């Protein structure tokens, strides 16, 4: 069995839902903003609406973290990696198709092309 792709920050993982929200709202975000998304994704039942709004936020779509990888890509990968309900993943794919431009979408698919357990939701 292949392990997870994104690391979970153990300190953030121990936070309650309220602490997660409160700390993520701080500027700058304590322990680094990007470390929260995998934890939010693991608690998708509670944070689905929030994560989906972050996924299609234009600031995150345009925020290049390293190379071609954007914050929106990392949110999508976090959901594919940690959400335990396939319905959320299917819903996410619809949102991506509606909100990311074609080039960005194609680049993302190209980046995840070898990860069959991710790609299947986009077919």
Partner 1 sequence: MMQKKIRNDKFNSKADSVADLLGTASRSHPERLKEIITDLENKNVEIIYRPDEALGYSPGLREGTPRQIIIHEKASISTWEHEYMHFLNDEERGFLCMKSLYDSNYRVLTELNAYIKEVEFVKSLSGNNDKIIKQLKKNFSEEFKYIIENFGDITNTGLINRIKSFKNL
Site membership for partner 1, residue 10 (CB under 8 A): no
From the CB of 28, what's the least distance to partner 1, in Å?
A: 4
Q: Any idea what DSSP says for residue 28? A: S
Check whether the bond before 28 is cis (ω within 30° of 0): yes
Structure tokens at 101: 């431009």
Q: Which of 13, 22, 32, 86 binds partner 1 (CB under 8 A)?
A: 32
Structure-token match 């925020």, residue found: 63
Per CB under 8 A, which of residues 80..109 are in contact with partner 1? none
Please, what is the minimum distance in Å from the beta carbon of residue 86 to partner 1? 20
**DSSP H helical segments within the chain, as ranges?**
10-13, 17-24, 37-42, 44-55, 58-61, 71-82, 86-99, 102-112, 116-119
Q: Binding to partner 1 (CB under 8 A): which residues in 35-74?
A: 35, 62, 64-70, 74
Q: Binding residues for partner 1, per CB under 8 A?
A: 2, 5-7, 9, 28-29, 31-35, 62, 64-70, 74, 77, 111-112, 114-115
């Amino acid at each position: 069995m292949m392990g997870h792709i994104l690391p979970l920050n153990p300190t953030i993982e121990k936070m309650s839902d309220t602490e997660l929200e409160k700390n993520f709202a701080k500027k700058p975000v304590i322990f680094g903003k990007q470390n929260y998304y995998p934890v939010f994704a693991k608690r998708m039942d509670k944070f689905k609406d929030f994560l989906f709004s972050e996924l299609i936020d234009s600031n995150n779509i345009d925020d290049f973290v390293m190379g071609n990888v954007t914050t929106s890509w990392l949110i999508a990968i976090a959901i594919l990696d940690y959400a335990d309900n396939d319905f959320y993943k299917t819903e996410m794919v619809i949102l991506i198709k509606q909100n990311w431009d074609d080039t960005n979408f194609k680049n993302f698919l190209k980046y995840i092309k070898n990860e069959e357990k991710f790609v299947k939701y986009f077919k």
